[in-house]
Each structure stands twice: as C-alpha cells, then as structure tokens.
Structure 1
Amino acid sequence: MAAPCNFALIAVESSRSAPGMGSFSCFHHGDMERRSTLDEGALKKWFENSRARIDEFYDEAARRLPLKEMPELDGCIYAGGLCFGLADPVTNIILNAVGLLLHDQQGEHPPPHGRVRVYEGWRDVVWRSIDGIAAFMNAYFRYLSTDQAKRYLYLASQDLTLAIKLVHHDRFAQGSSNQRRPLLPDGGKLKAALRFAALKAQHPAPDVLAGLMTAEYPRDTLAPVLFKLGNQQGGKEQLTTDDVLEIRDLLAHQWPPTPQPANIDFWCRPNGRTCTRRGDDGVLVISNSLGEDLVAQTSIVTTRDYFQTQQQNYISDLVFCCEDMETKLSRCLEASALAASAMATEVNYDVPPCEHIISVKMCLLDTIHALYIKALATLPSKPSLLRALLVAGHCYGLMDPVSNIILNSFWYDVAFPLARGVEVDLPQGILDTRPMARLESRSLDGLVAMVQGTFGSKHRALEFLSSLDCDLTRSSYLGRPIIKIARNVSFAAVAEIAKHPQHTAFGSFLMSLSPEKIGHLHSLISAAHWDQLIRVLSNEMYSVWPVSVLKEEDSSLVSPFVSARISGKRLAFIRNLDFVHTELNKVLRKYCNQHPWEPSYQLDIICGVTASSSPFHPNFYHANFLATINDAIGSSHERTLFFAEFWVSPSREDVQSKPSSCCPIYDYSACIGRCSFCEDEGNKILHPPSGHSRDFNGSINLYRSAVRAYKDVLKGLLVSDFIYFDPGRDVELAKIIHDYEDNNIPEMLDTKPSLVCERPRFI
C-alpha cells in the first residue's frame, strides 16, 4: 500500500540553496515576512491526521492477514504489531505481529492474559504507534525538534523509512558519503532507536522488534517475502496461513538471533597458561589451561568470514534504496520545486534562525568535534601542543580541516610559546569538554565568515558547509580552488570573528602561504616529519610576521595573589586528571584482558569526562580517551578512541554492582550513540553507536536542552582559561582574571558544577 507524500506541508529552500540540499522542515516567521506554504492547521491536528492515516494501515494489514484461520494473530497485532520499522507501514505491522507470534511460540515470552482487542478497531495500538514513531525520530536524529519530527512524518504519511529519507535529504548533500551510507550496519545505533521507540509504544518485548528489523536474513528467502508483502505487484493479495508460516520461518533465521547468544568473557591475556594463535584460515584459537592436563579451546571467526557464502541481506537493503522509495522521494521533491516557484518575495533566512538551521548548526559542531578528535589522534603527545590546540587550533585555513587544526596548533606553539619551564605544569589531557566545545564554535564562526560573502546569508553558508562536512577543499569552492579565493578573504578579519587570540599574526601567516608552501607544509603533517615541520615554521617566523605582534607584554597586570590562585587551580586540575587517569587505566586493562584477540592498548590522552554528583548514590563517570597500541617500542600508530564508564563510591559493594567498562569507537563522525545525561549536560562525550544502557532521565528528545547547553558554553570563563593562561600575552584575559580573583565577581566565571572545578569528595 503506497504511502503518498503529503504536499500541503512542504516548504522549500530557494533555488540558491546549498547544492543538493533541501529544507522540508525550514520555516521562517516574523511580522514583516513569513516563509510559507506551511499548513499550520494540519500541523496542529498532527495526532488526528496521524491516527486517520495509521488506522488505514491497520485495516489493510487486517484485511490481508488470515485472522479467521489464525486468530492468535489478532492479539499479536494488538500487543506488538506496531506500524514502524524498516519496511513500509503495512509490512511492518505484519512482520512485527508474526515476530511476536514466533517469540511466543518459542516460549521466551508467553502471551499475557487478555492479549485481545478491548475495543472495536485498533485505537490503542494506533496511539501507541504514534508515540513510538515520534520517539524514534527524536532518538535516532540528533537535534531534531518535536515540530520538525512531526513535519517529516506528516510529509511521509507516517512511513518511517521515507521520513528518514527526507531528513537525510535536508541534512546531507546529494551524492555525499553520508547520503550514500546504508542504514545498516551501523554498530547498533538504529537498533537502539527502534528499541527506545518500542518501549515508548509499550511493546511487550522491545528487543524482539528491534532485533527483527535490524537482523540479517538469507537473501533467497527475504526478497520473495518482502515482494509478497510490499508495495509491488504482490502487495494487494490476501495472505494464506502458508504465507504467514513462510514469514515466521524467515524471521526464525535472523542473525544475530533474539535473544543473542551468550557472550564469552576471557579474563587472561596470552601468558604461560593462556595462548592464542591464528591459523592459515584466519580462525583465531584461544587455549586456556584448566589444570589436570585439560585445555579449553575456543575458536573465533569474524562474522564477515562466516557469512561470506551465506548471501545475507538486511530488510533496509531491499527497501530503503529501492525504486519505490526513490519514487516517493521524487514526489516530495517535485512538490518542493512547485512550492519554490510560487515564492514571490525574497526572504531573510537569518531573521530569526529557524529550527532547521539550528539543527544543521548543531550537527556541524558535532562534525567539527569529530575533526578535533582525529587531529588529537594524530598529533604527538606534547602538553604544549595540546595547549596550542585548545587555545588557537582553529580548523579553517587552506587545507582540509584536520590538517588545518594540526598546522595551526604547531604554528601557535612555535610563534607564541609559553615561558621557559611553564610547560612542566601543563596537563596532558582534557577533563571538561566545554573548552573543546567553545573552540569548535569559534572555528565554525571562522568557516562561516570565509564563505558567507559568497552566499550573503549565514543560513545558506551553514547549509553549504554541511554539504561538504566543513571541508572546503572537497568541492574546489564553487568551481574555484580554495587557494584562489584566499585572495579575496581577509584571514585576519576571519580570525578576529573567530576570536583567535592572535588574529593579526595568524592572518598574516595564512596570507603568506603560496600554493608551493601549502603543498610542502601539507607533506610534513605526519608522525615522521614533526621535527621538520617545526623547523620550517621556525625558520620563516620572523621573516613573515611582524616582530611587534610576537613580543611578550608586561606581565605585571597579574598580582602575586592572583598568580598564586592560578597556580592552585592548575594543581587541582592535575590532581583530578591523575585520578581519572588511574580509573581509566583500570577499565582499559579490564578490556584488554577480556579481548585477547585484539591488540593490547595503552592510555594516552584523556579527551573529556562527564561526572555525576549525588550525595546518596555512587557517582558515575563517562569519558573519552585515546589509546595507542602497546607493541614494539618506537612504533607509531594512530590512536584509537575509547568510551568508558566507571563508578566511584565509598561502598565497594555499590561499585561491584555497577561494573565499569570501556569500548573502542571507530566511526565517530557519523554513527555515534545517544546518552540523555551527557547531552542534557552539554558535554561532548562520544558514545558507542548502540548508545548506553543507563538512560537516566528516560528521554532523548534533547533539542532544546542541547541548544541551551551550547549557548551556555560560550559564556564566562572556564577552568581551562586559568590552566593555559599566558600572562605575557593574554592581556585582556589577564584583566578579567585579575578582576574576578581580586574583586570576587562570580558572574564572570562559569560556576556550573564540574569535575575540574573542585577536588572530588573521594580523593
């Protein structure tokens, strides 16, 4: 049953929008101008409109299923036959109902008494489906407001896969890697969102629905079943009991099965009593001595090797990118084109900014955060370089963003070093993530300043940056190489807008770079050439930059009292960093012991920590850190990012009941998980795609709180300002710090409770 697109709500970007991006949820309101084809009345009646549409889905599913011959299906539809999933809504209802029937027959979840419809029709399950499908949108997409979710679902006629397509079209440029990325596999992000939606919809076994929709199936049976159920030729015929049994048999062959097989923990790395070996066939064999001449052997083979001859498919492989889905999307785009041609007046998109562009901006900040993690994973471990990155390592320039961050950090470290001997007091790690968030916001301001002259609007500039993932080198900047447009950009002005601490000198540096110099410097951005990069920057420093901007200022603005307070804050920071370092080493050793088939890792750089604060319960910590492979001395490897959770409590029993853990995160630019606590606090801790099991406030619709937390980051002083303060050059900051410490003006300091503001109770 095809779900037509609701054209009445479509509002579109003008023809001058960023290439390949639309704005199905972009609306501007104001007294002087109103960007409309929005049917406000339809949006206000969203629940009523949704119910009417979803009622049709259930009527169609009931018509097609053999309910008289298999009356137990009626109760399964009512209990768990929700209309959302990765197929069309009617197919989802049928698959979810049969999946619950299979689950009941396997004895895992016996059907409760009263699994029958209480009312005529499908009123209860329709309302639960509406709650679940809206919850999915908020859980799966970061920074999606409730109104935006409603618009996408209305446009998609409550077809979840089409709604996902519409959001991707708005957020990703056509042909970009993000738009081409398949829905699965994604490390568990989609499964976690479906489980959350099923919980919201009161499904009796949420893991069954989430597992069913994200599992792999034998291709030779999956395709015929979906064809029979779907919107193609077979999608109108009534199903027989044999058809239902065929669907049940398909679902019984999902991989991984639900519930998943038990995990096997390995508590010893290779040593005298445990050894590992990998055979010629790639199978890893772990042998554990059990004593008394007994040895336990476990064979481990990768899923890819095991299924390479199985011809497995996800449901989304055959539905999300099929011809029928492209037809639905084309209908929406055609309606968009008609709406765009009907717009008679020019609109100022920046007054006020709409929810769509706020979402784009927040997603860009996440993209930039991933770029900084990549830069940290590459930079050498040197406290002065970490300080240079946090103070002035902006991501705009004449190379790709990661290279810009690395080069700009090296440049600042060479051009504006701290006084001799100060580096010994610098920390090698980041606790509070707010300094990173502030740096990323300033970098985005610089990128917008670079391109806004071309578009005339921050709105369009942000969409353009989103289409390129902030990498201006990828599209040759509207047909012109980036080196050519540098002639028309005042980098000093861009750096000043981005609040670079030395914007004049930094602008002079960027303007001095010829294409040859850029190519040479870019070739030196690697672990094998760090020393050479420093020599090149040092040799050219005084010949390029005015000496007047490099000299140190008088540091007498800082009184001895204030200087002592700054030293105290630095010592407290180091103590807290040592505590976190100790705890992370424990969880990393535990991970290595339980995963002997992986390399052995060594903790390197802490990238951020979120701490709870409760006087009655154990305190938990979420953290990101970078680790190196602990093998041959002197070997160089790019660091691996980890997520960790650890607990601290005066009671050992409380901590044992809440085991600490960590795991690597490999794809932190797109597939990252959700955590209501960290996001609500505005902390940029990257979680594994599957999210985290402890959802402390029961909600991950964090659009408002995330935007509020972002704005709070930009206010006041941060602890890092004291840690990396340079009294010889940071004249303005010196005045602010002096006034704060000398006059005790609390509003000048961000006093939000943080791990780094005070010494933790348990140290």
Structure 2
Amino acid sequence: MGCGDGGKVLRHIRGYYREALEQLPAEEFPSLLIAGACFGLLDPVSNIIVNTAATDTARSSSRKRKRRWRQQTTEEKTVSKDEVLALVDRRVAKRSLYGLITFLVSYLRYLHAREALRYLRLAKADLAVAVRLIDLDRLVTPSSSSTTDPSSTSFKVALKCAAVSGKHPCRDAFAAIWLNLSSHPRIQELLLALPLTAGRLRSLCKKQRIGIGTRPPPTSELAQSRVFLLLDTIHRAYVKAIARFPRDALRVTHHRGLLKAGHCFGPMPDPVSNIVLNTIWYDTAFPPGEEFLADMLLTGSLARMQARSAIGLIRVMCARFPGLPPHDVIAFLLQAGANLHEAVSRARREAGHHYEAEASADGELEAIYTRAARAAWHPEPEAFAKFTLSPLPTVALSNLTSVSDDCSLTAEQVEAISASLLDDAAASTRPSSHHVPKLKPWVAGLVARDCRRFQDDQFFFRGIVEAALLKSKVPGYQLHVICGVNDKVAEDGKNSYYDIKHGHPYCHINFLARPRGSPTAAPTLFFAECTNDDNSTEVFSCCAVDPSRDDGRCIQCEKQGWAKIVHPSFGRYRGCDTDLVGMAGEGTSMTNNGLFSRGMRRTMESWLSEEDAAYFDSRWDTKLAEYINKSEEMKDDPKFQRAFI
C-alpha cells in the first residue's frame, strides 16, 4: 500500500489487532486469523473481538465449511502471539482494509474508492466514524443520515460485500451476526453514544463550522458527488411538485409545460412551488398547438429538466456571488435543499457580503436570470426572466401557498392561477412573434417516430402499473402518473436477453397513485419491479416509497445514470443484492468507480437525446427546431455534451 493513505490506514489497523490480542485468550488466536475482521458496528478493537468470538456461531451455520474450519483451526491452534502478529501484518490487516473500503463504497452511492480510503485515514480506520465524516462532507443532516438504521437492505448488503472483499469464510453468517447484535439494547446504546465518545469526530465537526473561506476546497471526487446529491435533492422536489397537480390537469395539459419549462427556480420562495408555477405559466403564455393525453412522464426528459434546473441554480448563484468558488456554491444549494432564496441567504450570512456582486438593479437581475435560463435550456429565457421578477398576482400566490404537503391543488385552483397569469403576467412577457424553422423531412420523420414510440411505451407501462396496483397491499388506488421507468433491468448477475423488450427481462418503475374518491389527497409514490415482456403483466414487487427516507441502492438503475428511480430501503429487488455482492468479489469487470463514471457519462449523454422531440411544438419551439435539425452535427460537438458549465 505504500506510504500514502493506504499505508497509514494499515498502520492503524495493525495497532488495533495488537490491542485486541492483549484482550483475547491464546486459544482464540486461530479464530482471529480466520474471521477476526476489524469492520462492524463498533470501534475497530471491539469489532475484532466480536468477530473472533462469533467464529463458532458462523462455523455452525455453514455445514459445508465445517471440515475446512476444523482443519484450519487444527493447523493453527498452537500459533504464538508473535506468529499471529506476523500473519496480521502479511495478510489479515489488508483483508480488513479491503473490507472497510468495500463497505463504504457499497453502502454510500457516488463514493470513489480513493475517497473511501481518504476518509478511513481521517477516521483512523474506524468505520462508523468514517461514515459520519462522509455525511458531514456531504452536508447530510443527522435527521436524514442513513447511518442509524443497520436493518436496511443497503446496510445488510454492504456487510455482505465487506465480508466478500475481506475474504471472510462465511459472509452470510457474518452479516446475520451483526444484524442480530444491532438489535441488542446495549449495542444500540453504544452505537448512539459513538459520535459523542469519538473526540476526533467532535473536532472535525467543529472545523465544519469555520467560515466558508477558511475551509480547504473539496477533492474533485467530493465535488462530483455533491453535484449528484444536488440532483437527487432536485428530483425529490419534482416528485413533490408532480404530486401537487390535479390528475386530469397534469395528464391533459401540464405534462408538457413541466418537461419543457418547469424549472425549480423562479418567483416563488421554494423549489416545489416554482416548478408548479413555472409549468402553469408556460402552458398559459405559450399554449400548445395540440394537446394529448399522457399517463407517463418521459424519464429522460424529466432527468434533463432536473439537470437543467441545477445548471440554472448554479448560474444564478455564481452571478450573484462571483467571488464564491463553484464548490461552495453547490454546497450552499445542497444545504438549502435546492432552494435558491435560502441558498442566497446562507451565502450572505456565512460567506460574507464581500463575495456578493454589488449591482442588484432590476435590469441587472433580469440579465442574470436571462443568462441562467439560457444555460438551463428554457424555451423562452427572456420571457421567463421578466416573469420571475414581475409581481405575482394575489390569486396565484394565495392558491400556491395554501396547499400543504398532504394535499394537491384542485382543478379550480389551477384554472384560477392560469387565468390570473393570463390577465397579468403572461400577456406582458409573451414575445410578439416566433419564427420556428421548418423541420427537415428526415427530422420530421424522426419526430413522428418518437411520438409513436412514446405512445406505445405509455400503453405498455400503464398496463404494467395497473397490474402492480392490483397486486399491492393497498388496493383501491388510482394511477396519478408514471414518473420514472428503467426498462433495462437484467437478471441478477446475468447478461441481457435479446428476445425480450429492449434486451432486458425486467423493469423498475416509480409512479404516483392516490386512493379513489380522494381527488385532493396528495398521491403516494410507489416502486414496482415488473416484467418487460410485451405478452405479460407479471409483477414481482410493488410497495409505497418515501423519497425523503427511502434510499435503496440498485446497480441496474445507477449504471443508467439518468434513471432516477426511488427504491425501497427494505426488501429485495434485482440490482440490490447479487449485483453489489458480485461487484465486491474478484474477477468482476464492474467496479464502484466504473459504475460512478458510467452513470455520470450516461447522464451527460442523455443531454443530447431526441426524446424531447416528442413534445415538439411548431408554434413556439424555435430553439428545439434548430437543435434537432442540426442534431447529427451537434452530437460530436463537446460544447453541447457538458451537463454542467
């Protein structure tokens, strides 16, 4: 490992083994060499002792390995302490190090192995402290931290992955032992007390409160992970906003405005209200030439809208605070939950006014929002900037602010907001004319093909979701809208099947549904794993999920990049267990670093997808017409391939 982070972590690990050997009787030394890993739920020394003492339990749980256990124990039963230390230095410590790294990258998404090693160095090879340090750097609040629930599927799988990477002889038993121990009251007390008893963690927490200008810049890996965490935060805001719309208003009219101009920044003080208001405003000011019914939001289009919103947020913050480093801009947005108003307030309070641009006249602010809207690919950036800075009608404000999280707007409220915008803001911001280029014949053919494909997919997935609702444990629900589909889910650890839809046998779906007869109740988000066979509607699992709490990992969805699917924290589905455990083993072609890079690359590539052409409008879409007419030439232009500028 050399003298870098790996070498420093190994020195800490070896020291922990020396401490553990002082507390263990000599007859336990062979068990330590076999299964005395330093990773678990407690401090490293306690983990070594618990894992060593639990060897007999692990042995009896696997009859197939019983003979091998006996042979290893017999061979090493007379080993001395010096011999144990030599074996620890040569192989046992490295196995524990690999297990520690693997646990972190398996448990926490968007984490490079190099970053995991750095955190282990800072935490002195203490796994629990390393996880909490990562939460601090990622600006995760204690209430939303996922480190306190060892019964979650992600935690169980991470323990298995650590056991595989650390060459533990009985991975399933290892995970089961720690899960059983975690339910013991005394262990729970120790887990809760850990942040208070770790002095180095307290000191690092204090450092996090130092002014923004005195903190060292984050590594490039941390900066990338913060961007992806910001996108996750924005995705949660969009799920809430979609749930605010009445079902028929969304399906008939506002699905179009949401995917074209429903950015999460604008005149309202929170991202959810901005998404709703911007959507209604665009459909009012620039009504579609032709409406069509949609029970499904295009997953790629929704992901692009979220990425464009992130770009707009970052652009506005960078323009308002030109002296602030970009990584601090992203940090403020992440802390504020993608709330631009809150992020500006935090930057003023914590970074200081010397970072803020002096100019704040309406004309300059309009120019800032215009440039941000252009960067965010808003179809009407100038009109949007004027609308953002114009006084809002009282009707729109009162209707939007009166809706709580457990309710949706009524159809009457949406109509009232639209009418007030038409009378006041929309007419003054709509440009006098549009000159939309005519599509080339071959491009028009592609647009027509994409529209047909969307209708075919919508018909198929609507049938799948209706079957899932019938199977779910909460019958009597009606589909609100499908808001996320990954139709490229393979069998656990296996390759795709070319005789199935898109070459993959399964799909993961997020959809919103509400109880029948409750039109104003906020719909519930569901996750479903279903067949991808055109001739079947088989449903393997269906359950309600909470975007603010459920954070299950799925290799099959993460490697797609754009597929923002909320998976349950508990229960099993394809992509959560076998794939992650397989990635931790030897001889696999997929690594966590590769998964992260592939997801990021696919997110950037999706920026160029022609899927948005399904919403092409010959009345207004000047920019889109120019774009898709030149799409073949632009695909090789790196300027259009950067998702963040």
State TM-score, norm by structure 2. Answer: 0.79
Classify the secondary structure of the residue corresponding to 1:395. Answer: coil
Deviation at 1:369, TM superposition (A): 1.2
**Backbone CA RMSD of aligned residues:** 3.8
**2:528 maps to amino acid:** A
2:111 is the counterpart of 1:144: yes
**2:596 maps to amino acid:** Y
2: CA distance, partners of 1:340 / 1:473:
18
Q: 2:294 aligns with which of 402, 418, 427?
A: 427
> Could you say which residue in structure 1 is the equivalent of 2:388?
510
CA contact (8 A) 1:642 1:664 kept: yes
2:498 is the counterpart of 1:615: yes
2:200 is the counterpart of 1:328: yes
Q: Which structure's CA Rg is the greater one?
A: 1
**2:601 maps to amino acid:** R
> Could you say which residue in structure 1 is the equivalent of 2:280?
410
> Could you say which residue in structure 1 is the equivalent of 2:569?
689
2:304 is the counterpart of 1:469: no
> Could you say which residue in structure 1 is the equivalent of 2:46?
91
CA contact (8 A) 2:483 2:512 kept: no
> Could you say which residue in structure 2 is the equivalent of 1:81?
36
CA contact (8 A) 1:673 1:687 kept: yes
> Could you say which residue in structure 2 is the equivalent of 1:642?
526
Q: How many residues matched?
A: 582
2:121 is the counterpart of 1:194: no
> Could you say which residue in structure 2 is the equivalent of 1:624?
509
CA contact (8 A) 1:601 1:627 kept: no
Classify the secondary structure of the residue corresponding to 2:275. Answer: helix
Q: Give the gaps of 5 or more residues in structure 2.
A: 77-82, 350-358, 489-495, 584-590, 639-645
Deviation at 1:56, TM superposition (A): 1.9
Evaluate the alpha carbon distance shift between residue 486 and residue 606 of structure 1 in structure 2; reply closer, same or farther with a 3 A threshold.
Answer: farther
Superposed, which structure 2 residues align to 1:511-526 within 5 Å? 511-513=389-391, 519-523=397-401, 525=403
Deviations 1:703-730 (A, max 9, x none): 322322232222x2421x2111111111
Q: Give the gaps of 5 or more residues in structure 1.
A: 1-39, 227-312, 751-763
Classify the secondary structure of the residue corresponding to 2:125. Answer: coil
Classify the secondary structure of the residue corresponding to 1:364. Answer: helix
Deviations 1:721-740 (A, max 9, x none): 21111111111221333455
2: CA distance, partners of 1:341 / 1:548:
40
2:374 is the counterpart of 1:501: no
Deviations 1:83-136 (A, max 9, x none): 112210011112223334234346777634233376743243322211111111
2: CA distance, partners of 1:186 / 1:637:
31
2:137 is the counterpart of 1:170: yes
**1:160 maps to amino acid:** L
Classify the secondary structure of the residue corresponding to 1:728. Answer: coil
> Could you say which residue in structure 2 is the equivalent of 1:736?
627
2: CA distance, partners of 1:651 / 1:200:
41
Q: 1:377 aligns with which of 222, 232, 243?
A: 243
The percentage of counterpart residues that share the same residue type is 28
Evaluate the alpha carbon distance shift between residue 510 and residue 450 of structure 1 in structure 2; reply closer, same or farther with a 3 A threshold.
Answer: same
Superposed, which structure 2 residues align to 1:660-679 within 5 Å? 660-669=539-548, 671-679=550-558
CA contact (8 A) 1:50 1:130 kept: yes
More helix by share: 2
> Could you say which residue in structure 1 is the equivalent of 2:224?
358
CA contact (8 A) 2:12 2:125 kept: yes
CA contact (8 A) 2:263 2:275 kept: yes
Superposed, which structure 2 residues align to 1:111-130 within 5 Å? 111-113=66-68, 114-116=71-73, 120-121=84-85, 122=88, 123-130=90-97
2:192 is the counterpart of 1:317: yes
Evaluate the alpha carbon distance shift between residue 718 and residue 565 of structure 1 in structure 2; reply closer, same or farther with a 3 A threshold.
Answer: closer
State TM-score, norm by structure 1. Answer: 0.68
Deviations 1:493-551 (A, max 9, x none): 33223221111111111211359677424335553544234323323435434557355
Deviation at 1:636, TM superposition (A): 3.6
Classify the secondary structure of the residue corresponding to 2:498. Answer: coil
2: CA distance, partners of 1:504 / 1:585:
42
CA contact (8 A) 1:138 1:145 kept: yes
CA contact (8 A) 1:414 1:534 kept: no
> Could you say which residue in structure 1 is the equivalent of 2:80?
none
CA contact (8 A) 2:262 2:279 kept: yes
> Could you say which residue in structure 1 is the equivalent of 2:641?
none
> Could you say which residue in structure 2 is the equivalent of 1:527?
408
Deviation at 1:363, TM superposition (A): 1.0
Q: 2:615 aligns with which of 717, 724, 727?
A: 724
Classify the secondary structure of the residue corresponding to 1:438. Answer: helix
CA contact (8 A) 1:717 1:749 kept: no
Evaluate the alpha carbon distance shift between residue 485 and residue 533 of structure 1 in structure 2; reply closer, same or farther with a 3 A threshold.
Answer: farther
Deviations 1:135-191 (A, max 9, x none): 111112221122211111111111111111211111116x66436x76226743222
Deviation at 1:621, TM superposition (A): 3.0
CA contact (8 A) 2:450 2:614 kept: yes
> Could you say which residue in structure 2 is the equivalent of 1:61?
20
2: CA distance, partners of 1:630 / 1:548:
39
CA contact (8 A) 1:198 1:209 kept: yes
Evaluate the alpha carbon distance shift between residue 502 and residue 83 of structure 1 in structure 2; reply closer, same or farther with a 3 A threshold.
Answer: same
More deviation, 643-652/460-469: 643-652
**1:642 maps to amino acid:** F
Evaluate the alpha carbon distance shift between residue 57 and residue 486 of structure 1 in structure 2; reply closer, same or farther with a 3 A threshold.
Answer: farther
> Could you say which residue in structure 2 is the equivalent of 1:389?
258
CA contact (8 A) 1:190 1:214 kept: no
Evaluate the alpha carbon distance shift between residue 672 and residue 375 of structure 1 in structure 2; reply closer, same or farther with a 3 A threshold.
Answer: same
> Could you say which residue in structure 2 is the equivalent of 1:205?
170
CA contact (8 A) 2:396 2:416 kept: no
CA contact (8 A) 2:550 2:569 kept: yes
Deviation at 1:64, TM superposition (A): 0.7
2: CA distance, partners of 1:551 / 1:66:
87
